[in-house]
């Protein structure tokens, strides 16, 4: 199970997916899972031995979903510190999965290191984005909503089973 660690004053805090669920619930379980995988990949590449200082973390997100925001908030407190920014025009491209709104692009920094990441397009189920947009349009049936809800849980489970670097493209790393 993935553990994300951050330093906060003289303490080290560790979070896993169960902690994220306790904080957010399952309403936006896919976004919550995306946040976990993005953090796993970032920490693997940039902070494998020494957790970053929570008070210095800035998160820029190409995806405005509440699950993603809450996942980052629990670990980094970026939202409450006003260091969580949803990008109006996030990068897109072949290495970054499209989302129903925006893209699954993220930039995370701790004042010394900056990493840009994109959820791999191939990990998003083929009709996930189109189904989500259909639900948002208001034209979906109760059955459509039920099927999409099951799709969310299936996607979350599948994504959690992947190695972070198999689920996420590390686009760039700047810093030590």
- So what's the architecture of 4-174 in CATH? 2-Layer Sandwich (3.30)
* Domain boundaries, given as residue ranges, for the chain: 4-174
**pLDDT at residue 176 above 80?**
no
pLDDT, the chain, mean: 95
**pLDDT at residue 1 above 80?**
no
CB 104 within 8 A of CB 123: no
**pLDDT at residue 53 above 70?**
yes
CB 69 within 8 A of CB 26: no
* Helices and strands counted in the chain (H then E): 6, 7
Spatial neighbors of 161 by CB under 8 A, at least 6 apart, are: none
85-122 pLDDT, tens digit per residue, is 999 999 999 999 999 999 999 999 998 999 999 999 99
Confidence label for 140 from pLDDT (cuts 50, 70 and 90): confident
Task: Please indicate, yes or no, whether the overall pTM of this predicted structure exceeds 0.85.
Answer: yes
């Amino acid at each position: 199970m993935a553990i994300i660690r951050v330093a906060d004053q003289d303490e080290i805090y560790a979070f896993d997916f169960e902690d994220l669920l306790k904080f957010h619930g399952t309403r936006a379980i896919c976004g919550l899972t995306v946040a976990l995988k993005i953090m796993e990949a970032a920490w693997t590449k940039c902070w494998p031995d020494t957790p970053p200082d929570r008070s210095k973390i800035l998160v820029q997100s190409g995806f405005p979903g509440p699950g993603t925001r809450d996942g980052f908030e629990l670990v980094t407190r970026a939202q409450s510190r006003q260091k969580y920014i949803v990008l109006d025009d996030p990068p897109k491209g072949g290495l970054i999965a499209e989302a129903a709104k925006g893209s699954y692009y993220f930039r995370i920094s701790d004042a010394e290191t900056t990493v840009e990441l994109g959820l791999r397009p191939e990990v998003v189920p083929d009709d996930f984005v189109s189904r989500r947009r259909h639900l948002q349009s208001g034209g979906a049936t109760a059955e459509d909503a039920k099927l999409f809800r099951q799709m969310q849980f299936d996607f979350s489970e599948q994504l959690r089973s992947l190695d972070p670097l198999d689920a996420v493209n590390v686009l760039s790393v700047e810093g030590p």
